[in-house]
Chains A and B, each alone.
Chain A
Amino acid sequence: MFNFLVQFIPRAVVQGVPLMYGCVGETITEKSGNLNLGTPGIMYVGGICGVIGAFFYENAVGNNMNPFLGVFIPLMCTLIGSLLMGLIYSFLTVTLRANQNVTGLALTTFGIGIGNFFGGSLIKISGADVPSIVLSRTSKLFSATIPGASKLGAIGEVLFSYSTMVYVAILFAILAALIISKTRVGLNLRSVGESPATADAAGINVEKYKYFATCIGAMVSGLGGLFYVMGYASGIWSNDAFGDRGWLALALVIFTIWRPGHSIWASIIFGGLFILHNYIPTGVNLANKELYKIIPYLATIIILIITSVRNKRENQPPESLGLSYFREDR
């Protein structure tokens, strides 16, 4: 059992980290009252943008890769790509006051389309005979671990064996939690999501907060896509392999009752539940495997039921989540 856990936990963590990025990003966004259902698309775009940057850098320099640029270029590509997605969403919902649900869903479809288009193009350019792009050199740069961690035995394996982006994700979650609950910016952000009219009357620039929260949230979510390719999939991009992770991140926001701090353990649990089907002997019947895959969603529904029944006001979503705000609206 112990050996199993030592083997299982790191896999769950690696599975969970893309969700953690997505969840933290979406929580920041939702705290401003923007329900960004475009998150799956944003994470997908974040992934493909990183791949595009890495692909052209690898092809341009061949084996003489500069470690800094090898990380910096894909990272910037991801941040810019997901920032653009966040800007599209903010412009449509905040400035033009379009319906948030429709905009978000359209953005997801759009993002996945973009990702698959460029993914397919790159595969064609590379002339590979399998439908995927392999960026193992970039992936290696991203996977640098703490030296000597493997010598610490089980503890090292479970706690210190990960690449930098894993710790960055945890850092982001803690930072987001602190900013939201302890600072003035966080208080203002929460008030915008709860009641924009109140925030406005208190002299808070509602549009600015919504724009910034959505764009920063999108960039954080986009990093989840990048980590998926470079950290989890060892630099291999194939179209649609990202799967349902974006939707899981959205479910995780509800699961963590809008508290980014909780996303640290919750995303790891979700990651574990997500891969649990690989560890349960199901025999040849693949239908059973599919059944196990729904466990994370079941967990979300259960959390929703529990929070609804307990009906504590602090555990409810931001009150104006999903609504547009216009000051002179009557």
Chain B
Amino acid sequence: MNEKIPVLQLRHITKRFGDKVIANDDVSMDAYKGEILALLGENGSGKTTLMNMLSGIYFPDEGEIFVNGKAVSINDPRDAFDLGIGMIHQHFKLIDVMSAAENITLGLSKEGKLNLKQTAQKINEICEKYGFEVDPNQKIYNMSVSQKQTVEIVKVLYRGADILILDEPTAVLTPQETDKLFKVLRNMKEDGKTIIIITHKMHEVLDISDRVAILRKGKYICDYETKQTSAQILTDAMVGHTVSLNIERPEPVNPKIRISVQNLTIRDKDGIVKIDDVSFDAYSGEVLGIAGIAGSGQKELLEAIAGLQPVEKGTIEYVDEDGFRENLLGKDPMEIANMGVSLSFVPEDRLGMGLVGNMDLTDNMMLRSFRKGKSIFADRKTPHDLAEHVVEELDVNTPNVATPVRKLSGGNVQKILVGREIANAPKVLLTAYAVRGLDINSSYTIYDLINKQKKSGVAVVYVGEDLDVLLELCDKILVLCGGKVSGLIYGKDADKATVGLMMTKVGGGDADE
């Protein structure tokens, strides 16, 4: 590629939500033919909003968009297709009860009759060309996350897109699936397509992209050739000041067993075994990481400890300072929480568990404390103070504590959730996906919080998806695979490839299965 041809040019794009929120402020940038451009920025820096204006979900308040040199107006998603722009959203836009072929052909109106055979044929051609695997007749609800994503990409290609936008495509993939995706993206690049990828994972940016563009607080900052930059430069540009990229891992001080799980087996409502004969101990002053492909039983395991999940077999014991063991099974969640076991689970949609979107910060703090207080009226003063405290301590970006949580950006929501759980001064802190979808700066705030808890002698159980972080943050890592313990390794000695293998095969060996 000797000469760069700009296929997409944005000029002075501004988008406001309401009067106060400016999501994009005078953004001008270009994307060239046959390149992979990474779009980097903190949560709420306006990356997704900017891309949604290209895909026709939003319409810019000011500014112009040029495609192949021509000024265009993208009023709705159909305009975007016609211009060859396709976006793969973070939350897949697929219809569960329909097959892959039906989803892919959706909304195309060339002929009245539905010719799924022809569609399937064309899908297979696309798959062969770029190296996908899609069964056109498989229903979406039978698919894994990675398969669904493949369908999304094929859908966009089927519509003849030349500019593909991927919004955090790797957030839900295992390392192996990510590699597969990147291989396909490179194939598409070779074919002359332009790919814009939004991601928070710095090593992926460095791995896949040709060029990096950085947004900060809605403004376009600069761009770098990926070859000539480093994680540190990019992070500093993104945050606006220098950030230390090392996760601390203080040595555990005087670790003692806090939670002891023996031979735990859990079945879900449909009778499927979610946790199969799992045993482990969590020590005070230690961070125990739990690694596994999404849906390997992490959620069920944490819920069982918190008393939210019925257990088929096994024991879960809480061990106090004096070594006295108490069985947690059969206790209700309230009793367990009062013993100092605290659960903060950040689900995929962030608000699903733990916080109520329509309630303000104070009310959400009250969810933990509403039973306290002596009079028949609820005590609003204490939770209000707590909310103020959390906002200040964790630097939550909110107009005030009376703002509904729903209106805050994802990172701030998570800070509130984690902040509330920590404020309870727990003995055991269970967190799942605490940094899910968070930008690098907010993530580090959360890691600091976790380390602070660890130093004060809390037993932390950390379920995470980013292996790099697990390896740096955790003292020990318990790897789950299909509900079974695949292995327990020390954070210091572990390497990513081993853990990745263990996640897909019990024991990590390649002999059986």
Contact = CB atoms under 8 A, between A and B. Distances in A.
Interface of A: 182-188, 190-191, 194-195, 197-204, 313-314, 316, 319, 327-328, 330
B93 A201 contact: yes
Given A190-B98, A195-B95, A198-B93, A184 B141 contact: no
Contacts of B55: 201
B112 A313 contact: no
B97 A182 contact: no
A187 B106 contact: yes
Which of B87, B94, B97, B114 counts the most A-chain CB atoms under 10 A from its CB? B97
A12 to B, nearest CB: 33
B58 A313 contact: no
A127 B89 CA distance: 66
Task: Give the secondary structure class of A's interface.
Answer: helix
Given A313-B141, A328-B58, A184 B93 contact: no
B98 A194 contact: yes
Contacts of A313: 96-97, 139, 141
Contacts of B76: 200, 203
B106 A191 contact: yes
B123 to A, nearest CB: 15
Contacts of A200: 57, 76-77
A187 B113 contact: no
Given A200-B77, A202-B77, A313-B96, A191 B107 contact: yes
Interface string B100-128: 00110111110111100000000000000
A50 B58 CA distance: 45
Contacts of A185: 112
B438 to A, nearest CB: 18
Nearest to A198: B93
Contact of A202 (B57, B93, B114, B141): B93
Q: Secondary structure of the B side of the interface?
A: loop
A182 B107 contact: no
Contacts of A183: 112-114
A182 B77 contact: no
B93 A195 contact: yes
A200 B114 CA distance: 19
A194 B97 contact: yes
B157 to A, nearest CB: 14
Contacts of B106: 187-188, 191, 198-199, 202, 204
A182 B114 CA distance: 6
Contacts of A198: 93-95, 103, 106
Nearest to A186: B114
B78 interface: yes
20 contacts: A182-B113, A183-B113, A184-B105, A184-B112, A185-B112, A187-B114, A188-B107, A190-B95, A194-B95, A194-B96, A195-B93, A198-B106, A201-B89, A202-B93, A203-B81, A203-B108, A204-B107, A313-B139, A313-B141, A316-B97
Interface string B229-257: 00000000000000000000000000000
A140 to B, nearest CB: 40
Contacts of A328: 57-58
Contacts of A203: 76-78, 81, 107-108
Interface in B450-479: none
A194 B78 CA distance: 19
A184 B113 contact: yes
Contact of A319 (B96, B111, B112): B96
A327 B111 CA distance: 27
A227 B207 CA distance: 69
Contacts of B108: 184, 203
Contacts of A195: 93-95
Contacts of B139: 313
